[in-house]
Amino acid sequence: MINTIKNYIRRQVLPTTIEDKDVVAAYDIWAENYDSQPGNLMLDLDEILFTKLLEGLSLENKTIADIGCGTGRHWGKIFQQNPASLTGYDVSPGMLKKLNDKFPEAKTYVITDNHFEDIADDTYDAILSTLTVAHIEDIEDALQTWCRITKKHADIIITDFHPNALASGGKRTFRYGDKHIAVQNFVHTTDTIKRILLKNGFAVIAHQEIKVDESVKYYYEQQNALHVYKKFKDQPIIYGIHFKRSE
């Protein structure tokens, strides 16, 4: 956690060149070192949050879709629950290649639009989607499809960069050579996501957030970055929601 905060502060304080990229281009570049990022704030916090949410869900003998699977960061812990199947979907061929290097038998598909037209209705018992939904421009279109391809009593777990942080100027960035790449994001409030899924028969089982608070203030002090701390103090930086369809 210490390295996470220090690296986050360093990225905010040190002058650097930031280049904006669309999601596919950015993640194809990022794929090369995505699994080798000690101290990455969002990845570390997502690991904590997703693990907590997963404790409230049994995946044994379930058909699972991981939408925005990337390199399969969470697949080890998912496989520990013995699902009947696990299928990965991502917009980045580069990220999927890394996943298939780690899991040669994996079923993976490149996402080309929101509609998943080759996937039949009522296919999946659960959809898992981590650090992904803010990359989707038309979130209602996408979530309506997720509802179509999930079964009765299905579960959906979503985690992502908190929309309040994005709206306050937060960026999802990574270092590439002597510059930083910023990945395109869209701000979708958690109320918007809930509204879409609730009208499709889902209920909220758990909603968790992690904030920047006093417990990490001294890390900012050590980096002479109290202005960054003050900007984000008491704001949630990541959220996670577990939804379950009740019909």
**Rounded-to-integer distance, Cα 7 and Cα 177, Å:** 16
State residue 216's pLDDT score. 57
* 242 closest CA partner among 159, 138, 120, 153: 159
CATH of the domain at 222: 3.40.50.150
Q: Is residue 140 part of a domain?
A: no
State residue 219's pLDDT score. 46
**Rounded-to-integer distance, Cα 78 and Cα 132, Å:** 18
Q: Is residue 79 part of a domain?
A: yes
Range in 75-79, 184-188, 214-218 the model is least confident about:
214-218
Mean pLDDT across 68-89:
97
In angstroms, what CA-CA distances link 157 with 11, 128, 139, 212, 234?
Answer: 29, 5, 15, 23, 24
Pair 207, 240: CB distance under 8 Å: yes
Q: Is residue 38 part of a domain?
A: yes
Q: Is residue 148 part of a domain?
A: no
Q: Is residue 185 part of a domain?
A: yes
Q: Is residue 141 part of a domain?
A: no
Higher pLDDT, 236 or 125: 125
Find how far residue 228's CA is from the centre of its chain.
23
Q: Is residue 188 part of a domain?
A: yes
Mean pLDDT across 106-112:
96
Number of domains within the chain:
1
| pLDDT tens profile 124-169 | 999 999 999 999 999 999 999 999 999 999 999 999 999 998 998 8
Range of the domain at 116: 2-133+155-245
Strand 179-183: give its sheet, edge to edge: 17-21, 179-183, 172-176
